[in-house]
Amino acid sequence: MNNPWLTLLQDFGLAAVPAVGFAMIFNVPKEALKYCAVLGAIGHSLRFALFKMGSLPIELATLIAAAVVSLIGIYWAQKWRAHPKVFTVAAVIPMIPGVYTFTALLAMVEIERKGYSEALLQTALDNGLKALVIIAALAVGLALPGLLFYRRRPVV
């Protein structure tokens, strides 16, 4: 996999799948599933491009990607007459740092089982803080258009 554009294209296609899968867990209406798929793909591949190719820190890349998803989501939401969160949250699910979160918690469980060790505490803190900041970046990114442009009026 040496061609970076091919990798990006794969990322684009793959990210659409969890966006739709999780949209189904959240019972997003059928007509909105296509928005989830496209936004999920755009969001994750944009983050991949900024992070891997643009060498931005992952937190900042996540914030920018979530804000872009939210902006496009607002445009579609106004056309479709529903709150953008109905499909933008499912669209950012592929960017949720699930592995970081579980690694941090399992490291804490290990500290409880085996007793304190510097390596375990380091794993717990590194992964836990990373997960926390990325989740905050996602939520703030989604809220950003509302905080900047729709301050005293509703989006839909």
Partner 1 sequence: MSAGEVWVVREEQREVTRLCVQAGGLLLQHGAESALVESVMRRLGLALGMDAVEVALMANGISLTTILGGLCHTTVRRNQDRGINMHVVTEVQRTMLLAEDKQLDAAGVAQRLAEIKPYRYPRWLVSLMVGLSCAAFARLGLLAQGEEADLATFALTFVASAVAMHARQWLAHFHFNPLVNFAATAFVATSIAAQGVIYGWVDSPNIAMSACVLLFVPGFPFINAVSDMVKGYINTGISRGVMAVLLLLACCAGIVLAMTVWNTWTWL
- Positions that interact with partner 1 (CB under 8 A): 1, 7, 10-11, 14-15, 17-18, 20-29, 32, 44, 48, 52, 81-83, 85-87, 89-90, 92-94, 96, 98-99, 101-103, 105-107, 109-110, 120, 123, 135-136, 138-140, 142-143, 147, 154, 156
> How far is it, in rounded angstroms, from Cα 116 to Cα 103?
16
- In the complex, the smallest distance separating the C-beta of residue 140 from partner 1, rounded to whole angstroms, is 6
Comparing CB distances to partner 1, the nearer of 59 and 110 is 110
Comparing CB distances to partner 1, the nearer of 39 and 86 is 86
- In the complex, the smallest distance separating the C-beta of residue 26 from partner 1, rounded to whole angstroms, is 5
- In the complex, the smallest distance separating the C-beta of residue 10 from partner 1, rounded to whole angstroms, is 6
Comparing CB distances to partner 1, the nearer of 36 and 72 is 36
Closest CA to 23 of 33, 38, 13, 9: 33
Comparing CB distances to partner 1, the nearer of 46 and 107 is 107
Using CA atoms, how far residue 40 sits from 61, 97, 149, in Å, is: 15, 15, 23
**96, 44 in Cβ contact below 8 A?**
no
Angle at 135 between CA 110 and CA 72, to 5 degrees: 155
Q: What is the DSSP string of 93-120?
A: GGGS-HHHHHHHHHHHHHHHHH---HHH
